[in-house]
């Protein structure tokens, strides 16, 4: 729109309308029908687009139209155009979760779950499958919070699309109390939150009769089982090598059922003979009349180091 500058004799002064001045003898500006109709149609177009019926006596219909939710449509999810963003679009895209819901059975998540906070409830194990990364844009986020008393498996729809701590897996397991935020980055779901910690090298573990547990501060716990030799000594290879040193340990009976009313065993961790690759302990069989070393006594050692 513009002033009717192209109309001959319209009488604009400095490009604007002016009133007639009888004293000065200057005429007022003309308002051509074409221009007046154009301005009116411009305004009516906005009013009608908002679903409002034009009313000549109503002088605030343009303002009503501009405030109407019918005039400004919320852009589609993931829209990256330069169109005006409604508060609904902003709420969905930034700052807060778009919505929150709970599930308690096997579920295939969809695009509608992007930006949502989802609680994993129930009392039985089940699998939740993430949307295929090819179907969502970079930066798409889904947050899961496990309240299930049983483990919940979170799986890729295809391939190894889940990446906790740099690994590439087809699924991860979430336990009660764990949370995970899945962010679509470089074609995979990168996992952030407590559910990802167990996949970190700082929390690496081996859960077996002889195993270990690492901690972020550098402490490592290891446990082993074995049997004594003829001298009452037990030396067992550790599941992993301590990078620096052995700090301490304890040893105890590996088969308490072997104790009788007249005999017990006494175990002691042998720090002097333990190394970064082996753990040592000594055992003595205490009977009514003597204390002696014996072979084949089952023992366990818990050792810590860094």
pLDDT digits (tens, 9 = 90+) for 246-255: 999 999 998 8
Burial class of residue 23 (count of CB atoms within 10 Å of its CB; 0-12, 13-18, 19+): exposed
171 CB contacts (<8 Å, ≥6 apart)? 127, 153, 154, 155, 156, 162
**Residue 54 lies in domain:** 33-66
**169 and 246 part of one domain:** no
**165 and 180 part of one domain:** yes
**272 and 224 part of one domain:** yes
Cα torsion 229, 233, 239, 240 to 10°: value is -140
Does pLDDT of 77 surpass 80? no
Domain assignment of residue 134, yes or no? yes
101 CB contacts (<8 Å, ≥6 apart)? 116, 118, 119
**226 and 158 part of one domain:** no
Residue 11's CB is within 10 A of a number of other CB atoms, namely 15
**239 and 211 part of one domain:** yes
Q: Which two tokens stand for residue 222?
A: 């290891």
Domain assignment of residue 173, yes or no? yes
Q: Are 245 and 306 in contact (CB under 8 A)?
A: yes
C-alpha to C-alpha distance for 129 and 137, rounded to whole angstroms = 17
Lowest mean pLDDT across 85-99, 106-120, 232-246, 247-261? 85-99
Angle at 127 between CA 122 and CA 132, to 5 degrees: 135
**218 and 241 part of one domain:** yes
Give me the residues paired with residue 16 across strands.
Answer: 13
Residue 193, CA atoms < 13 Å, CB-side half-sphere: 21
Summarised one tens digit per residue, pLDDT across range 17-30 is: 888 888 888 888 88
Burial class of residue 88 (count of CB atoms within 10 Å of its CB; 0-12, 13-18, 19+): middle
C-alpha to C-alpha distance for 94 and 141, rounded to whole angstroms = 11
Q: What percent of the chain has pLDDT over 70?
A: 99
**144 and 233 part of one domain:** no
Specify the pTM: 0.59
Predicted pLDDT of residue 87: 78
Residue 235's CB is within 10 A of a number of other CB atoms, namely 17
Domain assignment of residue 27, yes or no? no
179 CB contacts (<8 Å, ≥6 apart)? 143, 144, 145, 146, 193, 194, 195
Does pLDDT of 1 surpass 70? no
Domain assignment of residue 56, yes or no? yes
**210 and 286 part of one domain:** yes
Domain assignment of residue 152, yes or no? yes
Angle at 127 between CA 124 and CA 128, to 5 degrees: 125
25-34, 231-240, 257-266, range with greatest mean pLDDT: 231-240
Mean pLDDT in the chain?
91
Domain assignment of residue 5, yes or no? no
CATH of the domain at 163: 2.60.120
Predicted pLDDT of residue 20: 84
Domain assignment of residue 244, yes or no? yes
C-alpha to C-alpha distance for 72 and 83, rounded to whole angstroms = 10
**195 and 230 part of one domain:** no
- DSSP, res 34: H
**217 and 150 part of one domain:** no
Answer with the one of 181, 199, 217 that is the final residue of a domain: 199
Mean pLDDT across 41-49: 91
- If DSSP codes are grouped into helix, strand and coil, which group holds residue 120? strand
**188 and 217 part of one domain:** no
Mean pLDDT across 285-305: 89
C-alpha to C-alpha distance for 206 and 110, rounded to whole angstroms = 35
Answer with the one of 199, 217, 246 that is the final residue of a domain: 199
pLDDT level of residue 96 (50, 70, 90 thresholds): confident
Domain total in the chain: 3
Domain assignment of residue 81, yes or no? no
CATH of the domain at 253: 2.60.40.3940
pLDDT level of residue 95 (50, 70, 90 thresholds): low
Summarised one tens digit per residue, pLDDT across range 112-170 is: 999 999 999 999 999 999 999 999 999 999 999 999 999 999 999 999 999 999 999 99
Answer with the one of 199, 229, 245 that is the final residue of a domain: 199
**209 and 299 part of one domain:** yes
């Amino acid at each position: 729109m513009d002033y009717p500058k192209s109309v001959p004799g319209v009488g604009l002064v400095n490009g604007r309308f002016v009133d007639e001045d009888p004293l000065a003898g200057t005429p007022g500006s003309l308002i051509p029908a074409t221009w007046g109709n154009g301005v009116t149609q411009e305004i009516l177009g906005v009013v009608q687009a908002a679903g409002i019926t034009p009313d000549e006596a109503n002088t605030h219909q343009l303002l009503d139209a501009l405030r109407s939710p019918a005039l400004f449509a919320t852009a589609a999810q993931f829209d990256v155009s330069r169109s005006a963003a409604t508060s609904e679009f902003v709420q969905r895209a930034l700052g807060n979760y778009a919505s929150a819901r709970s599930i308690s059975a096997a579920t295939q998540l969809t695009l509608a779950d992007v930006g949502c906070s989802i609680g994993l409830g129930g009392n039985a194990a089940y699998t939740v499958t993430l949307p295929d990364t090819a179907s969502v844009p970079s930066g798409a986020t889904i947050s899961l919070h496990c309240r299930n008393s049983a483990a919940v498996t979170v799986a890729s729809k295809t391939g190894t699309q889940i990446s906790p701590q740099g690994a590439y897996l087809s699924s991860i397991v979430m336990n009660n109390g764990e949370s995970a935020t899945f962010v679509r980055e470089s074609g995979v779901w990168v996992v952030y939150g407590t559910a990802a910690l167990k996949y970190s090298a700082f929390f690496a573990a081996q859960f077996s009769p002889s195993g270990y547990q690492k901690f972020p501060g550098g402490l490592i716990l290891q446990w082993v089982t074995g049997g004594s030799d003829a001298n009452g000594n037990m030396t067992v290879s550790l599941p992993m090598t301590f990078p620096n040193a052995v700090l301490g340990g304890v040893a105890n009976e590996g088969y308490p059922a072997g104790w009788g009313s007249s005999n017990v065993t006494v175990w002691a961790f042998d720090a002097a003979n333990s190394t970064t690759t082996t753990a040592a302990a000594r055992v003595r069989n205490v009977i009514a009349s003597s204390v002696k070393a014996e072979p084949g006594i089952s023992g366990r050692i818990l050792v810590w180091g860094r």
